[in-house]
Amino acid sequence: MRAKIMLLSSGKQEELSCAYASRLLTDISSAFGHSFSLAEGKMEAEAFAACQDFRAVFAGSCENPAFQDLLDELGMPLLIRSFCVPESLCARREAPAVLYVATVLSLDEETMLAACRAAFQFAQEQDCRLCSVFPTGASRQDWEANIRAQEGLFPQVSSVSMTGPEAISAMITAPERMGLILCPPYAGSMLNAAGTALCTYPAVMHDMAFDSELGVFAPYALPDDETPQPFSAALALAKLLRFSLHLTREAACLEAAVNNVLTAHSRVLREGGETAPDPEKSLDMICEQIAVAGELMLRAGLG
């Protein structure tokens, strides 16, 4: 595959996240026989218009104040944030639960329709339940009509409706059952705050916004962390591969590599080893697994 990908950054921390993404994309293209054309730009309004000519955009941090301006410029209908809830807070003991909060960015008719469609498509791809937090006021009727329409188009997706307070309560008591929470703009910040409180390891949080033609993906980086870990950037990149480039095999490979490295680090910590993994060492370990996966698939005639 040939694809043009824009990397946007502003400041040292975001430049480092984009450097992680650049190396991972280079290694993935080499391992799986793709040709990615990477361009770099600043997280500024002047660069946003140029993003329309690319298949996907990787932004250095979703916490940059200009990130919302980028989404507005590109007309994105929905913003999805991914959280990882540890086993100790949910009924699952074998693995953490993944929780998504999807915020509709506007309640106008066209945006709401596109956002609901994207949310159901995402839930189907991720094989998770969709929890709809309906808005109050005049827009509720249109919201519910859109949800019913998408339920008919995506019968495989299990969906349920609830209020904002009910969603927060369910996030706390049974986060492993929530899947994707679809909510109106004013509820997004409240639900994202609840998700952040549950996610004891923010180094894996990331944001994504996409439609049928373009996607924007960004890691979450702690403001005071001058050298962020590569995990959030790698997982955001995996979503880029899956939803913008439709490279599901490569996305699964990258996600597995990140999970393997995180598991290895957790084992070291339990045994009284290093207190924090070295970012460059972690990146090397992820890239090594990508190279091995590509070689194995080539030998099996799947390349």
| pLDDT score recorded for residue 283 | 95
pLDDT at 270 (0 to 100)? 53
C-alpha distances in angstroms, 57 versus 21, 61, 97, 144, 177?
11, 12, 27, 31, 31
Tokens of 284: 């090397």
DSSP 276: S
Cβ-based neighbour number of residue 272 at 10 Å = 7
DSSP summary character for residue 174: -
Report the chain (303 residues): mean pLDDT per 10 consecutive residues.
Answer: 95 93 96 95 93 96 94 96 81 74 95 95 95 92 95 96 94 91 94 87 86 91 75 96 94 92 71 69 94 78 60
Cα angle 267-271-272, degrees, rounded to a multiple of 5: 120
Cα–Cα distance measured from residue 293 to residue 287, given in angstroms and rounded to the nearest whole number:
10
Question: What separation in angstroms does the CA of 101 have from each of 32, 130, 230, 266?
Answer: 32, 10, 22, 26
Of 159, 67, 160, which is closest to residue 120 (Cα–Cα)? Answer: 159
| Domains of the chain, start order | 1-76+211-303 (3.40.50.2300), 77-206 (3.40.718.10)
Give me 274's structure tokens.
Answer: 């290093």
Determine contact, residues 287/26, Cβ cutoff 8 Å: no
A 10 A CB-CB count for 30 gives 14
DSSP 4-69: EEEEEE-SHHHHHHHHHHHHHHHHHHHHHT-EEEEEEEESSHHHHGGGGGSSEEEES-TTSTTHHH
Q: What pLDDT sits at residue 296?
A: 78
Return the beta strands (E) in the chain as ranges. 2-9, 35-42, 56-59, 78-85, 97-104, 130-133, 159-162, 180-183, 206-210, 215-219
CA angle at 115 for the pair 17 and 131, rounded to the nearest 5° = 95
Q: What angle do CA 72, 26, 48 make, to 5 degrees?
A: 15
Residue pair 283/257 in contact by the 8 Å Cβ criterion? no
Question: pTM for this one?
Answer: 0.91
Among 74, 118, 80, CA closest to 99: 80
d(CA 181, CA 188): 9
Query: Residue 257: its pLDDT value, please?
Result: 92
Report residue 42: phi and psi, to 5°.
-90, 150
Q: Which two tokens stand for residue 158?
A: 């299990």
What does the pLDDT read at residue 243?
Answer: 94
Residue-level pLDDT at 4: 97
pLDDT of 199: 80
Query: Which among 282, 287, 279 is positioned nearest to 28, based on CA atoms?
Result: 287
Contact 209, 78 (CB under 8 A): yes
What local confidence, expressed as pLDDT, does residue 213 receive? Answer: 84
What integer pLDDT is reported at residue 119 of this predicted model?
97
